[in-house]
Amino acid sequence: MRFSILLISLLILTSSTSAQELTSADAYSQRGIASFEKNDFDGAIADFTKVIEMNGRNLEFCFYFRGLAHYRKGNSTQAIDDLTKAIALKPDPRFFDDRGNLWAKQGELDRAIADLNKAIEIAPQTAKAYGDRGLIRLMRGETVDAETDFKKCFELDSALEPGFKLAANKIKQHTVARYLREKPTDLEIEKFSWTEAPAKLMMAPSSGTTLVTTSAVSPTGTRVLADPNAKGESGPGEILNPSGIVAPPRTATENTKEFMAYTFLLSLKNTGTKTIVGVKWAYFFDPKDPAREGLAYLFVTKTNLSPGKEKTLNDSITSSIVANAKLPSKRNQSLYNERVAILRLDYADGTSWQSSANVGAPQKTNNR
C-alpha cells in the first residue's frame, strides 16, 4: 500500500512534541505517523487508536493509516473495517482504491471492482486506480476490459507501466497454472525432451521468405510460438492459442534455405481401458525470472495408443514459423523450467477428455 506525503502532512503539526509531552490528539497523530514510517505498526495502531478515542482532528486519516498498519501486520479484515470507517467520514478515492485492493486479496472481486469504479468516478485522472482495476479484471477473466484499463493507466502515468505489466504477467501465469492442474486419469507422462538442429527448408523465391508471426502475449500470459498440427481444429482453448497459428503453404517453385529445427518428444503410457487416437499437448517454458514471458509450443498429434501400451510422440517445427519470437535454445535453456501438459485426449470410441484450458472446443464426456 502506498500513502501520500500530502496525506501525512495533514496530520503533522508545525510544532514539535516530544514523547514525554503526549497530552493532545495531535501529538499522538505525529507519533503515530512517525511509528508507521519506521514500520512500528503496533505503535502506530496504538497511537491512532488514542487519537480516535480522543476524537481528534482528521479522524478519516487516522482510520486510514491504522487500517494500513493492520494490513502491514497481515490483518486484512481489520484493515478493511478501518478503511470502511475512513470512507464513511470522507469518500476519498485513495480510500476506495486501497479497500478495493484489500477486497481482491480476500477473493471478493465484485466488491473490489465496485470500490475501484467509485475511485475512478470520484477522480477520473487517477492512473493507479485504472491499473488496479485492470489487475482485478484479469483475475475475473475480463481480458479485453483489463487491457483497456491498463492503456488508460499508462496514458495517465507512464511510470506505472513496468510495475503493472509485471503484476499482470504474474496473474496470467498463475491462471495458466491453475487451468493446467487437471490431468487425465488414464494417461501417464513418462518423459519429455526437445532437441535443436540446423535444417533446410524449401521457400518460394517469388514471394520471399514468408513469416507467420505469433500473437501477442495471450490472455493468460503465455506466448504461443506455434501450433503446426492444428489443421483447422479448435485450438487448445482460446486461452492458449487465440490466433490459430499455422505454417504457410508452399508453392511449386521453391528455394532451399537454412533454418533451425526443433523436435519435441513426449513418451506416454495408456493406463486406461480405451484406445487413444489423438493427443493435444503443450510444451511449456516457464521463466525462472517472473519478468520474462512464458513460452509454449502446442501440438495435436494423431496416434494409436492401446491400453497398457507406451508410445513416444514426435513433433517438429522450424524457426521460420516463429522468426520474431524469443525462442528458447540450448544456450538459454537454464532460464526456464520445462513442463508438458495434456490438453485433450481423443478415444477410438469417439469420446474425449479435455482440460479446462481447452475452452472453445466441442465438449464430450469420457463415457457414453
pLDDT in tens, 107-117: 899 999 999 99
Q: Which pLDDT score is estimated for 258?
A: 66
Confidence of residue 354 (pLDDT cuts 50, 70, 90): confident
Distance CA 60, CA 83 (A): 8
Pick the range with the lowest mean pLDDT from 120-124, 237-241, 319-323, 326-330.
237-241
Span 336-349, average pLDDT? 91
Pick the range with the lowest mean pLDDT from 11-15, 38-42, 243-247.
243-247
Nearest by Cα to 113 from 78, 140, 92: 140
Q: Which pLDDT score is estimated for 265?
A: 92
Span 323-337, average pLDDT? 70
User: Is a pLDDT exceeding 70 seen at residue 204?
Assistant: no
Q: Which residue has the higher pLDDT, 27 or 247?
A: 27
User: Is a pLDDT exceeding 90 seen at residue 14?
Assistant: no
Q: Please write the tens of the pLDDT for every residue from 168-198.
A: 877 876 766 665 667 888 999 999 999 888 7
Query: CA of 364: how far to CAs of 232, 350, 353, in Å?
Result: 19, 9, 7
Span 307-313, average pLDDT? 95
Task: Looking at the structure, give the CATH architecture of the domain made up of residues 5-178.
Answer: Alpha Horseshoe (1.25)
Contact 292, 222 (CB under 8 A): no
Span 329-357, average pLDDT? 86
Between strands 187-203 and 336-347, the pairing is: unpaired
Q: Which pLDDT score is estimated for 262?
A: 81
Pick the range with the lowest mean pLDDT from 43-47, 154-158, 181-185.
181-185
Q: Which residue has the higher pLDDT, 354 or 126?
A: 126
Q: Which pLDDT score is estimated for 3?
A: 45
Helix (H) or strand (E) holding 25: helix 25-37
Q: Where in the chain is the domain with CATH 1.25.40.10?
A: 5-178
What is the model's pTM? 0.53
Average pLDDT value over all residues in the chain = 76
Between strands 276-287 and 222-226, the pairing is: unpaired
Beta strands per DSSP E along the chain: 187-203, 222-226, 255-270, 276-287, 294-305, 310-318, 336-347, 352-354
Query: CA of 127: how far to CAs of 122, 236, 291, in Å?
Result: 12, 35, 22
Distance CA 16, CA 19 (A): 10
Q: Tell me the β-bridge partners of 282.
A: 298, 341
CA end-to-end span of the chain: 53
